[in-house]
């Protein structure tokens, strides 16, 4: 089995969150695309979160830019399982609650 190539880290504390999904993304390109997508979602922008905006490109002219095309491929053509990624996202946001210990009340 070949060793996994390390992925360039996402900016700041976003890397800790993105690393939770690495086992669901099989290739370096998928892991890199996931980090770029997350960063694009969280960066402040002046326009709606279109694909060109997420990649940081011009709205019309930048549609053919390599970063936009990479992100487009990651979102629409890549083989990662979106249902498993979404399930992991929900686990990260809302951990499964543990049953609370209750004390018996004696009145």
Angle at alpha carbon of residue 10, lines to 8 and 14, rounded to 5°: 150
Q: How far apart are CA 20 and CA 15, in angstroms?
A: 9
This model's pTM is above 0.85? no
Q: Which pLDDT score is estimated for 102?
A: 64
More confident residue, 107 or 54: 54
Taking only the tens place, the pLDDT of each residue in 35-94 is 988 888 888 877 776 777 777 777 777 888 888 888 888 888 888 898 999 999 898 888
Q: Is the pLDDT of residue 107 over 60?
A: no
More confident residue, 21 or 61: 21
What DSSP letter does each residue of 19-67 carry, written as one string? HTTGGG--SHHHHHHHHHHHHHHHS--SS---HHHHHT--SSGGGGSHH
Q: Which pLDDT score is estimated for 88?
A: 92
């Amino acid at each position: 089995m070949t060793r996994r190539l390390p992925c360039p880290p996402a900016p700041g504390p976003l890397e800790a969150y993105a690393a939770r999904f690495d086992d669901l993304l099989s290739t370096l390109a998928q892991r890199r695309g996931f980090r770029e997508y997350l960063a694009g979602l969280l960066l402040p922008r002046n326009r709606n979160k279109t694909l060109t905006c997420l990649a940081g490109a011009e709205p019309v002219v930048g549609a053919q830019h390599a970063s936009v095309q990479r992100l487009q491929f990651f979102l629409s053509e890549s083989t990662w399982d979106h249902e498993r990624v979404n399930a992991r996202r929900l686990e990260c946001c809302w951990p499964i609650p543990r049953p609370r210990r209750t004390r018996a009340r004696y009145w």
